[in-house]
């Protein structure tokens, strides 16, 4: 099993519903968030192109955060999802410094927090992650890459996609449809 997510940059309007849904579902403390929206403008006027991306932890196959964690709190869970065990985390910050996507933040309770793909609270109950399920443009696809019929496998077969900073070598599992 290999959970992954695809985000359609052609459909995302940058409304930030995914951010709010995640904050609500996962009780993210005020001032922080586990996912975020990036708008990139390319080109020169009048030939401008805008790309909007809903970003979060890339749940990399080769995760620097899991490697550098001194206690084993950061680990690979079911389907390659990268999770942090709260009562094993000492809050040293090594994983925060190690993440090229800057997807982690120190939770005010002391441990380091990040996107979980809603693994335990939704996915294992047969639901989509909170961000995917609320998206008003249905621009996000979540599922198991090992299952050829999952929505994420189907869309990645049909569409061109990219990952973010593949040159950092972390083998990210967040795909952006372009």
Partner 1 sequence: MNHLIDPNLHIWHWQIPLYLFAGGLAAGILFFAALNTILGRKEKYPVSVKLSPFIAPVLLIIGLSALFIDLNHKLYFWRLYTTIRLQSPMSWGAWTLMIITPLSFIWCGLNIKEILPKWDWKYKVLIDLEAFLRKYELVIAWLILIYALILGVYTGILFSAFNARPLWNTSILGPLFLTSGLSTAAAVIVLMSKSQLERHYFARIDLMLIGIEIFLIIHMFMGFLASTQVHIDAANLFLGGPYTTPFWLFVVSLGLVIPAILEILELLHYKMPAWIAPVLVLFGGLMFRFIIANAGQASRWLY
Q: Which is nearer to partner 1, 136 or 169 (CB)?
A: 169
Cβ 109 to partner 1, closest distance in Å?
8
Cβ 49 to partner 1, closest distance in Å?
16
Cβ 153 to partner 1, closest distance in Å?
25
Residues that bind partner 1 (CB under 8 A): 31-38, 64, 67-73, 87-94, 96-103, 105-107, 109-112, 164-165, 167-170
Q: Is 149 left (phi over 0), alpha (psi -120 to 50) or beta?
A: alpha
Residues 6+ apart with CB under 8 A from 137: 8, 11, 12, 13, 15
Q: Which is nearer to partner 1, 76 or 105 (CB)?
A: 105
Q: Which is nearer to partner 1, 131 or 144 (CB)?
A: 131
Q: Which is nearer to partner 1, 34 or 122 (CB)?
A: 34
Cβ 78 to partner 1, closest distance in Å?
21
Retrieve residue 34's tokens. Answer: 């586990």
């Amino acid at each position: 099993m290999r959970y992954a997510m695809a985000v359609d940059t052609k459909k995302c309007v940058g409304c930030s519903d995914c951010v709010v849904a995640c904050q609500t579902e996962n009780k993210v403390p005020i001032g922080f968030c586990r996912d975020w929206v990036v708008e990139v403008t390319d080109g020169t006027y009048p030939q401008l192109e805008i790309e909007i991306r809903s970003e979060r932890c890339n749940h990399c196959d080769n995760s620097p955060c899991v490697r550098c964690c001194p206690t084993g709190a950061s680990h690979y869970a079911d389907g390659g999802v990268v999770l942090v065990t709260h009562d094993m985390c000492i809050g040293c910050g090594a994983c925060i410094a190690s993440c090229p996507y800057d997807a982690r933040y120190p939770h005010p309770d002391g441990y380091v927090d990040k996107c979980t793909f809603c693994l335990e609270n939704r996915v294992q109950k047969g639901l989509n992650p909170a961000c995917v399920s609320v998206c008003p443009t249905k621009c996000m696809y979540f599922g198991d890459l090992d299952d050829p019929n999952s929505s994420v496998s189907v869309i990645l077969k049909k569409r061109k996609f990219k990952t973010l900073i593949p040159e950092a070598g972390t083998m990210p599992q967040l795909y952006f449809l372009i």
